[in-house]
Structure 1
Amino acid sequence: MASKQGKLHGRVEGARAHCAVPGCRAPGEYKAPLPAANFDGPGSWRFLCLDHVREHNTKYNYFEGMTPDEIHEAQGPLGGWERPSRKFATNGADPPPAWSDFSDPLDAISARFRGQARRGEAPNRFSKAERRALAVLGLGEDSDMHSLRKRYSALVRRYHPDKNGGDRSHEGKLGEVIEAYQLLRKSAAFA
């Protein structure tokens, strides 16, 4: 039995058998399902010629036996979505990251594959620029959002001229602290 699909949808090229309709000598190149009493498995097929498969298809009515309300529901935009579906297997891959942790979908996708590139390394939460910003604030990589805010507040009080008696010699350091905080507060590591 041949299995190659041709340009005509459903046609099985190279079928050797004749059409299953008695008296028809045309080659049976199209699979048509046999009516089953109850569905259990892939079903049974017979091979028909093009004319007989067209005749077979005109007799098929998906909505046969349905009430008008069931037909209306099946034709709606959500028709078929009420059926449960199985979860996709991860096939041993790491689970995907939570999309809500990222503002940009491309960041979420790259985060998933970033772990595969560095299999032996410990995962790093921060980029190079973020690690520099942590150093400016005097924080370690184990910091959380609460410790970031607390340290930022303390450094602003120390370096701001309004808080330190009008000493403007630390304005450069204050600018670095503000810039570092602005970078870190938007970091995915603190999301």
Structure 2
Amino acid sequence: MAREKISKERPGARFHGRVEADGRRCEAPGCDEAGEFRAPRRDGGRQGDGPGGYRWFCLEHVRAFNAGYNYFAGMTVEEIHDAQRPYAGWERETRAFAHAGADPAPAWADFADPLEAIGATIRDRAAERAAARAERQDGRPLTSLDRSALKVMGLAVDADRSALRKRYSELVRRYHPDRNGGDRAHEAALQKVIAAYQQLRTSRAFA
């Protein structure tokens, strides 16, 4: 009766563990249902170091098999003890990932960059480093605070006091709430501009 119910309500393709039988029959004696669910062989069925073989059952008989399955069946007390150790299976030697401590990083030339995404990033970073080391042509020294302030203002290292005042006026007009309908969203940027201007107007480079 149960077998007839299973046959009429056959598990769908998404049923957990089901494998299309393709003519394979259940290995339970006297069962004519399709063998769509696998179970390990009692003897392991191993061939060399490969995984063990399987027996194939219908849903009813694989459930019966699972209900009575005992992984430790046929093992001695010592074998059961070894299999239950927390680190069982971890004693085997594993392959090292690198012979010299770390694999060498790939060269940029090995990458295809048709959109110049990598190349543009490298050039931008190189330009930033060059700007951070650039000196004024008039020989006036720039401190790290001066360089940070110039970056906030968007000015080159050779800017003079006239360029500084002009740029300051532009940025104040851009960020001031009165020029943005009372919107104070740019207030933080305005404060940075004011601080940068105060730093540069008293700097030896703009004396």
TM-score, scaled to structure 1 = 0.42
Larger Rg: 2
TM-score, scaled to structure 2 = 0.40
